[in-house]
Structure formats: C-alpha cells, structure tokens
A and B are shown apart, each in its own frame.
Chain A
C-alpha cells in the first residue's frame, strides 16, 4: 500500500532528528528525478550555495554562513530507488555528521505524491556550529518545511512566487526596499531566485 506513515530508517547520527512532509501534484518519478539531480537543490534549499556531483554517488555540498564564510562537506548516496527513495550520509568524519532520506509515495485518485523528508545531524560547536545554526535557523523543522514549500512551488508551477523587488512607496524603515543588498536573509535568498545568483 502507501506506507504513508512507515517510520524512517535512522542512521544514528547523534543529535537532532527532524522530519517534514509535503503533498505535491506531480507523479513520484518526476519529483524523484528533480531531486536526484542534486545541482537543482540550491534553488530549493535556503542558503545552500551549491551541490557538485563528484561521482554518480558522491557529492560536495557548500553552504553560506555569516560574513560570506562557507562550509563544505561531502556526502554519499547510500540508497537510490528510482521513483521511491533517496538516502544520503556524510563521508568520513566531517565537522557536521548528517544523514537523511527523502521518500516519494503516490497518493490515491490523482492527488499527487506525498514527499517525506528525514534529516539527522550532529550540531557542532565553534565557528562551524555558527554556520550550521545560521543555516537551519532557530527551527530546523521550519527550515525543511520552507524547502518543501519551494520544491512544491517549482514542481507545480515552474517558479517560486515572489513579491520582493516590487514597487513600494517611500519608507525608510522598510527592510525590503527593492534591489537593496543586505545580509543573506531569507529575503535575499528569494531575491537570488528571482534575479539569478551573483557569482562571488
């Protein structure tokens, strides 16, 4: 059947475990293929700068931290069931050990696909800890939910809805004046999507 509420496999990365779910009006294989092309993910995941595919199963991830700092790690695809499932785990002994799974299950009667995500990570201290904390924000579950919302928007409509960068009247207090650069807030991320990324 649908295995809608089967428990996720755990990879015993000690620390934080968060999950998310989103129903999307596309078939499981299209969604799987979009996610399997890891280079797409920087459009979906906040403050993820890039994912490079090193081999068919190994990839290099780079996230942006405070003051243009960057943190990178490598991850292996450890489960790949086309149209159903992807699982990954960090390679070796990185500063932030993490592992995760994304599942795609067709819903009945043309109701699309249920996408479920599980993410485990061991929050580090120090500078790397700051980068990771900034990346996930105060609530890792909301971080995942935001990414899933954007994934659904892109897969259902071809774009991420945006209202930043539109006309506004005079107000010096506003933080969302169009075209103004600021710290890499989520607003800046959305602008990146709309205007294309700056290469720095």
Chain B
C-alpha cells in the first residue's frame, strides 16, 4: 500500500510499504478515505520532536471503512464507517476509567521508555513518534487500529468526510481547551494561535458561553476567519498584544488564556531569539514565548488552558508571576474518547461545522508537497486533507491479515 513516511527533518516521502495486519484480538484494520495533516505533524516535519525513526508512517487524524476486525471486536463489522481517535486508549485502566484517555496506562507499547521520560507511561498515538508507542500512522491507505472495540467513532454513511474527519483530533482538542477555560457568564477569553485548532476553539468557546473571544495570530486570512466567528482580532506582528489586552479589558486581563500554538511559537523579542538558538542546538526543546505572554496578560486568578503541543523542557518560565497572580494551569493531550458522542451530536445537529477550517485538498500521493506548503503557510494555508480515494489502485490486504495469532486471552477469562 502507499503511505506517507518520515525520513528526517523536512524529508517526507510517499512510498510503498507492507500492508498492516491484525496483531492482537482487539485490533481492526481501516481502509482510509480521508486523512488530515495536523499542525502538530509540523513538529515532526521540522525535526523538533524526539524519538522518530526513519521510515515511520505519519498521520494521526483519519477516517474510513472497517475492512477487518480481530476476534475480540464485536461492536464493529466490515463496512462500518468510522472516525478513529488520534489517541489510542484501552478503556479499562485506572485512567480510562477516570476519563483521562490520553493518559491510558496500557496503550503505549514502549511502556518502560515512556516511563523513564515521563515517570509513568502515557497513551499511544498514531504516527507520533516512538515515545507515543511507534504506531504506524493514518496517512496511509490502510491502518491497523488497536483497541478497536473501544476507540473508533461509528458515523453515518450520508455525511461528507470533511464534516466528520476532524472528530479524530482537532475538534475534541478545541472543545477540551475551551472547557479548560472554565468559561463563566461574561468571560473574555484570549486565544493565541488561529490555526485550525484555534479557529475551532473560538467557536467552541462561544458555544460554551464566552462573552468575548480575542484572537491572536499574524496571518491576516486566519484573523479574518476568526472574526467571521465573532472574535476580535489582534495581529501580533503589527500590534502590541499585552497593551491591547490591557486596554480592551480595562486592565483586568482576559479571564482565561488559551494556547493553540505550542512549542514552535514565533515569538518576538530577545528571549525568543535565545530560545530559538537553544532549540537549534538541543539545549531547550520547546520555545515557550506564548506561554510567557499568557502568564503576563492573564487576569489574576485566571485559567491558562494549554493545547499547543509541548514535548520537553522550557526555560525562563515566569513561575513567580504565575504564582503571584494565582493562575490555574490546565493542559493535556486530547482525551478524544471523552467527547465522542457529544461532538458527533453537535456536528450532526449543525451546531458546529469543523469543515470550515479545511482549506486545501490533495491526494495521498501529493503529501510531500502538502507538508511543504503547510509548513511555509504558503497561500495562508489552514488545514490540509489528503484523500486516499484518489489513488488509482486499491491496496489488497495480505491473505493472512485477518488471522489473529494465538494469544494469552485465556488470562482474562
């Protein structure tokens, strides 16, 4: 089958790879119809995220049709149309029981490695480094989906892919980020980053009752899209963010600040130059200029909601300011499974249309160009969707792909 593979910094290729097989009883194999390139894939593309190996299949947002199920999967059958959560979760560990699905104890095959770094193993993710388990990703024609009896979201056949695809990651990410702002009546929320996640977060914040949302970015087209949802826009290249937030809130500051940028923030000023140099030579993995600005701008006692991906360490974190202002920090990799039903219903009821952020469509074979384009933000690119349907051939499952190996399932009778 064809798949998008990572081979190093800014080296993404589309090549023939072996088709996946069912490896465990709870696996399924999904034939991909649509898959997206996520802003967080750019961290991998630019080589700032650790634990990638040359040849890894990329992609964590995908949907398609179930073509094979393992012996323990009883709730899905061949032909079902599913959106697959980007996070792999078992559904039965302490953390899944507590709805902290991206903290799943059992879905990361590289338990000890993850534990060494994090203190305890975090969940597996599709196509997002060996730190997240080394699962082959969704920018491919076929994908093996572990714990398929728990993860995939069954969706109706008659809704276009574009409206459903983003249920796998960025719509639940945006919704969770908005929830972490703990919006109360009259609240003003400032959103740093108006990429696809930021755009959807702005809409989720209004749905959750925010009075005002202030959108911060430097790409004019993105600010226009944010304004279309009712947000007030600040261009950080031409305007002074702290000054404007101070003025617009009468010195009180936004009640909540949401980071939809993460570890590769553009930033301005001397400290960001230091961060860039450190990141380039490996002294500091993440550039936290947005985080610093949010701490400075937030109102006292405000909520800091962090969605942008951070992978390692940050320097010059203004802890004293955060402490003195009594801020609350809430963050995590998205707990997709928590919002499966809620968000599917919102989409089907037409209360939110995630497809508004999709700006470009390519075939899977054109992925290398698509990555370059997203990274350069040429043409004010927002969200790219790759269609696996445009390929001429249809990949075949290997004859033994449906055979589940004998396994220790007797242990859990």
Contacts and interface: CB of A to CB of B under 8 A. Distances in A.
Interface of A: 23, 25, 34, 40, 43, 111-112, 142, 145-146, 149, 152-171, 173-174, 176, 178, 190, 193-196
Of listed A156, A167, A176, residue having the most chain B CB within 10 A: A167
A173 B55 CA distance: 10
B17 A169 contact: yes
B387 interface: no
Interface string B4-46: 0111000001010111110111100000000000000000000
Secondary structure dominating the interface of A:
loop
A156 B411 contact: no
A155 B90 CA distance: 12
Given A167-B20, A168-B57, A169-B57, A161 B408 contact: no
Contacts of A173: 54
19 contacts: A25-B92, A25-B97, A40-B408, A40-B410, A111-B94, A154-B408, A155-B411, A156-B92, A158-B409, A159-B72, A162-B24, A163-B133, A167-B20, A168-B57, A169-B3, A169-B7, A171-B55, A173-B54, A174-B55
Contact of A166 (B15, B25, B136): B136
A191 B24 CA distance: 11
Interface in B109-162: 109-112, 115, 121, 124, 133-136, 140, 142, 144, 146-147
Contact of A196 (B18, B146, B406, B412): B406
Nearest to B5: A169
Given A167-B136, A170-B55, A194-B23, A158 B112 contact: no
B135 to A, nearest CB: 5
Interface stretch (B100-108, B243-251, B378-386): B100-108
Secondary structure dominating the interface of B:
loop
B57 A156 contact: no
Contacts of B77: none
Interface residues of B, number: 57
B53 interface: yes
Contacts of A170: 5, 15, 55
Contacts of A195: 23, 405
A158 B17 contact: no
B53 A171 contact: yes
A190 B408 CA distance: 12
B237 to A, nearest CB: 38
Of listed A149, A154, A168, residue having the most chain B CB within 10 A: A168
Of listed B105, B107, B144, B146, residue having the most chain A CB within 10 A: B105
A167 B57 contact: yes
Contact of A154 (B56, B88, B411): B411
Contacts of A193: 407-408
A16 B297 CA distance: 55
Interface in B35-84: 53-57, 72
Contact of B90 (A34, A156, A169): A156
Contacts of B115: 145, 149
Nearest to B25: A159
Nearest to A23: B94
Contact of A156 (B17, B24, B93, B140): B93
B1 A167 contact: yes
B299 to A, nearest CB: 37
Given A154-B412, A165-B23, A145 B108 contact: no
B407 A159 contact: yes
Contacts of B105: 152-153, 156
A145 B146 CA distance: 23
Given A25-B93, A156-B92, A169 B405 contact: no
Contacts of A194: 23-24, 405, 407
A70 B20 CA distance: 34
B90 A142 contact: no
B3 A167 contact: yes
B3 A149 contact: no
Interface in B373-413: 405-412
Contacts of B106: 152-153, 156-157, 161
B26 A157 contact: yes
Contacts of B13: 169
A112 B411 contact: no
A169 B140 CA distance: 11
A169 B15 contact: yes
Given A112-B94, A170-B55, A163 B124 contact: yes
Contacts of B112: 142, 145-146, 149
A50 B20 CA distance: 30
A155 B412 contact: yes
A157 B90 contact: yes
